[in-house]
């Protein structure tokens, strides 16, 4: 049987440290690396990040949009990046934030969560804002393949507040409703010491005084560390008792050290050390 994503993520975090590094080949970063904003630059950038980090960080997170902007050739590079990173031992979280209904959501799930797809990833980011139930095809596909999901809940962008903090008829905020339903999806690991469910939430590390129950028995992807202003030392204050389930996500503050492979490795190792110290 396929080992569930949550189990594999816990093992990777224990062995390699709790860190997710983004693969975000935006134009300014390609230029900073001395690369062209073209397919050749995209390939070189992605190959270098995988070479430097895939055998030592727990999670690599390609941002699909930065590959899709090059059309079919960019998607081909993304396919190769996913395959190479997984072959080297990293868990791959596809940051695509897909969200739709019915057969369209099922097609997105097939694209990223079906083992027969060239874009098959260990986990996928999804948006619940067409209703949490609209994500059912993705949950079903993830369970069938042993993959995971990270559902947007409390994001760090200021625009998210108007939706995520809106209060429903039951008196709960939209974000808390998402977290509550995620906890239900992870019910099989509830009460199992050290276990981690396969279905996580995205909760920004830049948030202060999170007024929400983060005990979802699953991982908490925490973007915002580094260039967006949060530091590993902020994790306990934001996540409290759930800090041990946090997967901090860093992109620019690691990637800016490329194209040097040793410098990329040193930067990622420094973040791992800082996160471990903060949550210990």
Give the residue numbers annotated as catalytic, written as ranges: 97
* Residue at token pair 């998607």: 75
Contact at 8 Å (CB) between 243 and 236?
yes
- Torsions phi, psi of 102, nearest 5? 55, -130
**Could you give the count of Cα atoms lying within 13 Å of 107 in the half-sphere of its Cβ?**
5
How many secondary structure helices (H) and strands (E) does the chain include?
12, 8
| Nearest CA-CA partner of 77 in 194, 59, 69 | 69
Token output for 181? 């339903």
Cis peptide before 260 (omega within 30 of 0): no
* DSSP letters for 162-183: HHHT-B-TTS-BHHHHHHHHHH
Q: Could you give the C-alpha distances from 73 to 30, 96, 109, 244, in angstroms and in order?
A: 17, 17, 22, 39
Angle between helices 102-113 and 136-145 (to 10 degrees): 30
Contact at 8 Å (CB) between 23 and 54?
no
d(CA 231, CA 271): 9
Contact at 8 Å (CB) between 66 and 28?
no
């Amino acid at each position: 049987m396929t080992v569930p994503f949550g189990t594999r993520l816990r093992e990777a975090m224990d062995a390699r440290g709790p860190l997710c590094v983004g693969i975000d080949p935006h134009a300014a970063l390609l230029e900073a690396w001395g690369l062209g904003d073209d397919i050749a630059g995209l390939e070189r950038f992605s190959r270098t990040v995988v070479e430097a980090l895939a055998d030592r960080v727990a999670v690599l997170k390609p941002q699909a949009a930065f590959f899709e902007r090059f059309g079919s050739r960019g998607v081909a590079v993304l396919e190769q990046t996913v395959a190479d990173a997984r072959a080297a031992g990293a868990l791959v979280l596809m940051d695509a934030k897909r969200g739709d209904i019915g057969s369209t959501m099922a097609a997105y799930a097939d694209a990223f969560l079906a083992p027969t797809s060239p874009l098959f990833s260990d986990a996928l980011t999804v948006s619940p804002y067409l209703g949490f139930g609209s994500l059912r095809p993705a949950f079903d596909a993830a369970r069938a393949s042993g993959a995971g999901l990270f559902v947007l809940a409390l994001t760090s962008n200021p625009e998210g507040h108007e939706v995520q903090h809106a209060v429903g008829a039951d008196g709960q905020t939209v974000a808390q409703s998402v977290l509550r339903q995620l906890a239900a999806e992870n019910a099989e690991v509830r009460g199992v010491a050290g276990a981690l469910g396969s279905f996580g939430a995205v909760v920004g590390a830049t948030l202060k005084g999170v007024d929400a129950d983060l005990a979802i028995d699953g991982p908490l992807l925490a973007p915002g560390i580094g260039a967006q202003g949060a530091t590993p030392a902020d994790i306990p204050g934001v996540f409290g008792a759930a800090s041990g389930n946090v997967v901090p996500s860093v992109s620019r503050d690691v990637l800016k050290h490329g194209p040097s492979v040793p410098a990329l490795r040193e930067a990622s190792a420094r973040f791992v050390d800082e996160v471990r110290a903060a949550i210990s």
